[in-house]
Chain A
Amino acid sequence: DAGITQSPRHKVTETGTPVTLRCHQTENHRYMYWYRQDPGHGLRLIHYSYGVKDTDKGEVSDGYSVSRSKTEDFLLTLESATSSQTSVYFCAIKGAQETQYFGPGTRLLVL
């Protein structure tokens, strides 16, 4: 258990509404990541953070923004949700020697 929680765990929203997902960690890890998981695509990196206020894009960052104002929290925002953003979202932290540990996930349905 890497001390990672995600909230909410499930969310249903409508197209065009803003959505924010939260990742919280309790072990002071510097690196945090947001992935989405879709059938046929596996895990794809959306954004990651290498410190407070230090973030960078992943391979599928369009339509998403992130913020990290304190070490323990990494927020993922969908400014205007679309149906193509229906997915399962996972947060991860970097452990020792390039390992990553994942949270329990958030299931998002955009209607």
Chain B
Amino acid sequence: GQQLNQSPQSMFIQEGEDVSMNCTSSSIFNTWLWYKQDPGEGPVLLIALYKAGELTSNGRLTAQFGITRKDSFLNISASIPSDVGIYFCAGQNGANSKLTFGKGITLSVRP
């Protein structure tokens, strides 16, 4: 089946630093989504991308839809402690409205 690869599993950064994470696949996707999950809660949609090359921002977050349509990138600038959580990518490429999810990256921010 299709897979989305996110690595590393965990990232540790200092407060104030920027961090980038990517999501790659061997398959083409038409839609890329980025989610954040806080402990004990459901994933929350951060950014949605619909066109190859598209760059979209949401506050300190910026995400890009890769031009090959096989990858996507999320950047967090000037990290703060509340950025701690698990970041998932998800892709959609068919008419069945099902998403494929990456396994997520756990982000830790040191004060």
Which residues from chain A sit less than 8 Å from chain B, CB to CB?
A: 31, 33, 40-45, 48, 50, 58-59, 90, 94, 97-105
Q: Which 9 pairs of residues, A with B, have the shortest CB-CB distance?
A: A102-B42, A42-B103, A43-B101, A98-B31, A98-B92, A102-B43, A42-B101, A104-B42, A105-B42
Given contacts A102-B42, A105-B41, is CB(A94)–CB(B97) below 8 Å? yes
Q: Which residues of B contact A (CB under 8 A)?
A: 1, 30-31, 33, 35, 40-45, 48, 50, 88, 90, 92, 97-99, 101-104
Number of cross-chain contacts by CB at 8 Å: 51
For the complex, what is the distance from the CA of A104 to the CA of B44, rounded to whole Å? 10
Smallest distance from the beta carbon of A25 to chain B beta carbons, Å? 13
Minimum CB–CB distance from B105 to chain A (whole Å) comes to: 11
Alpha-carbon gap, A45 to B40, bound state (A): 19
Residues of chain B contacted by A100 (CB below 8 angstroms): 33, 45, 90, 99
Contacts of A103 in B (CB 8 A): 42
The reply to whether B99 and A42 form a contact with Cβ atoms under 8 Å apart is no
Knowing A42-B104, A43-B88 touch, does A58 contact B98 (C-beta < 8 A)? yes
Shortest beta-carbon distance, B40 to chain A, in Å?
Answer: 8
Taking the nearest CB of chain A, how far is it from the CB of B19, in angstroms? 20
Q: Give the shortest distance, in Å, between A35 (CB) and chain B (any CB).
A: 8
Nearest CB of chain B from residue A33's CB, rounded to whole Å = 8
Contact B88 A42 (CB under 8 A): yes
Q: How far is the CA of A2 from the CA of B84 in the complex (A)?
A: 23
Which A-chain residue is minimally distant from B41 (CB atoms)?
Answer: A104
Known contacts A40-B103, A42-B88, A42-B104; is A98 also within 8 Å of B43 by CB? no
